Amino acid sequence: MHLWTDLSQVPPGFGPSVVTIGNFDGVHRGHAQVLGRIVDLARARDARAVAVTFHPHPAVVHRPESAPELITGIADRVELLAATGLDAVLLVEYTLEFARQTPEEFVRTFLVDGLRVGTVVVGHDVRFGRDNAGTIETMVELGSRFGFEVVAIDDVGQHQGVPVTDEATPGDSQVRWSSTGVRALLAAGDVREAARILGRSHSVRGTVVHGDARGRELGFPTANLGAISGMVPADGVYAGWLERPQLAGADPEHADVRLPAAISIGTNPTFDGVERRVEAYVLDRSDLDLYDEDVVLELVERLRPTLRFDGIDPLVAQMHDDVVRAREILAGAGGEPVATTPGA
């Protein structure tokens, strides 16, 4: 898949194209359905399938004080978009200057002249251009003027086949397939339900940094993440996986590419911590050196909320219980068998 960050990077003569426009934060199942339709349309019309998306999120530019926390970092969003079969993604830098374009200026510059669009696929509620003045009717009128077709798609934001609202509560089996719904579930720590909407377990990415080494002293050495991208869910302890992308090209049988883990998110209240941290203990492993390595933490299920313990002994006892539960959950989560060391 081609990734362009400027129209000047689009090859001369590219097209014709079938284009859709959106933020695609999280690239959830609803997004995947829409993008799958784009790809199918493009193949049927001997055209290229292209998604136009934006960075940063428009809300960050227009109302930073209330901008949503992004589910995925930009690198992961592009990777997920590529997995849908798109031919290209145009990643537009969203600025106030960009936002001042009229609907016609945007369509002419980016879609007609830039991507040689033949078909635009958008939702009935699409808004674009200065002050969000452009609507589906505007797009149809511009299509008639510039010679492209407009395909309006119905809302595919359904969960388990039942049309529902954006409201999201933990355990609600009728949460709409929406980025808003995913954020609400992650904020509540319900990563299992969020995974139903995303079509995969939620993950965060970061670089392993030095911490207090307290986990190692307690018998549970952890990888502490810094420079995190992706929405960090509610504080608590989670069962999940630690993935090492730098080993992705290694022998598929390499035991250290994807590792079962108990993941802690919070401030370590037992030790009066104030800094919120994300750290992962790879089950039954004390021999790993992950410092300065970029890793991905995939969160499968929340085990419990963060708790304050009255001393080290009850904390360590709970950590042993957490490891046992994490091992059981991961063994039944469709992953590879989770090893158990003698006496662990």
Dump pLDDT digits (tens) for 130-172: 999 999 999 999 999 999 999 998 754 443 333 333 444 444 4
Top-confidence residue, 213 or 183: 183
Q: 341 or 265, which is more confident? A: 265
Structure tokens at 22: 């959106």
Query: How confident is the model over 47-90, as pLDDT tens digits?
Result: 999 999 999 999 999 999 999 999 999 999 999 999 999 999 99
Helix axes 29-44, 191-198, angle to 10 degrees: 10
Rg (the chain; Cα; Å): 23
Handedness of CA 60, 3, 20, 28 (dihedral sign): negative
Q: Tell me the pLDDT band of 42, cut-offs 50, 70 and 90.
A: very high
Does residue 217 carry a pLDDT above 70? yes
CA atoms of 312 and 308, how far apart (whole Å): 10
**pLDDT, tens digit (0-9, with 9 covering 90-100), for 229-253:** 999 999 999 999 999 998 876 665 6
Say what the pLDDT of residue 250 is: 63
- CATH assignment of 202-334, among 2.40.30.30, 3.90.1170.50, 3.40.50.880, 3.30.70.270: 2.40.30.30
Beta bridge mates, 241: 260, 298
Global pTM value? 0.88
pLDDT band at 212 (very low <50, low <70, confident <90, very high): confident
Say how many CA atoms lie within 13 Å of 126 toward its Cβ: 24
pLDDT bin (cut points 50, 70, 90) of residue 256 is confident
What does the pLDDT read at residue 311? 87
The per-residue pLDDT for 342 is 29
Cβ–Cβ under 8 Å, residues 20 and 121: yes
Residue span(s) of the chain under CATH 2.40.30.30 come to 202-334
Tell me whether strands 236-243 and 17-21 are parallel, antiparallel or unpaired: unpaired
pLDDT class for 211, splitting at 50, 70, 90? confident
The pLDDT of residue 270 is 74
Two tokens at 71? Answer: 């589910």
Structure tokens at 89: 């993604």
The whole-number average pLDDT for the span 261-284 is 89
- What stretches of 101-233 show up as alpha helix (H) in DSSP? 103-106, 136-146, 179-187, 191-198, 214-218
Q: Is the bond into 163 cis (omega within 30 degrees of 0)?
A: no
What does the pLDDT read at residue 162? 30
Distance in angstroms (rounded) separating the CA atoms of residues 337 and 328? 10
Query: Is residue 244 within 8 Å of residue 254, measured between CB atoms?
Result: no
CATH class of 2-153: alpha beta
Q: What's the whole-number mean pLDDT along residues 104-127?
A: 96
How far apart, in whole angstroms, are the C-alpha atoms of residue 24 and residue 57? 10
Instruction: State the helix-helix crossing angle for 191-198 and 179-187, rounded to 10 degrees.
Output: 160
327: its two tokens: 């091992």
pLDDT for the residue numbered 253: 60
Kindly state the average pLDDT of the residues 7-32: 96
- H helices of the chain, in order, are 29-44, 58-62, 74-82, 96-99, 103-106, 136-146, 179-187, 191-198, 214-218, 312-331
Could you tell me where in the chain the CATH 3.40.50.620 domains are found?
2-153
Q: In terms of Cα–Cα distance, which of 62, 91, 67 is closest to 77?
A: 91
Query: Mean pLDDT for the chain?
Result: 89
Q: How far is CA 264 from CA 143, 146, 301, in A?
A: 51, 54, 12
As a whole number of angstroms, the distance between CA 207 and CA 227 comes to: 6
Distances (CA, A) of 342 to 91, 216, 231, 284, 322: 50, 19, 36, 9, 17
State how far the Cα of 6 lies from the Cα of 82, in Å rounded to an integer. Answer: 18
Residue whose C-alpha is closest to residue 262's, from 246, 278, 247: 278
Q: Which residue has the tokens 């307290």?
A: 214
Using the predicted structure, report yes or no on whether residue 337 has a pLDDT greater than 90.
Answer: no
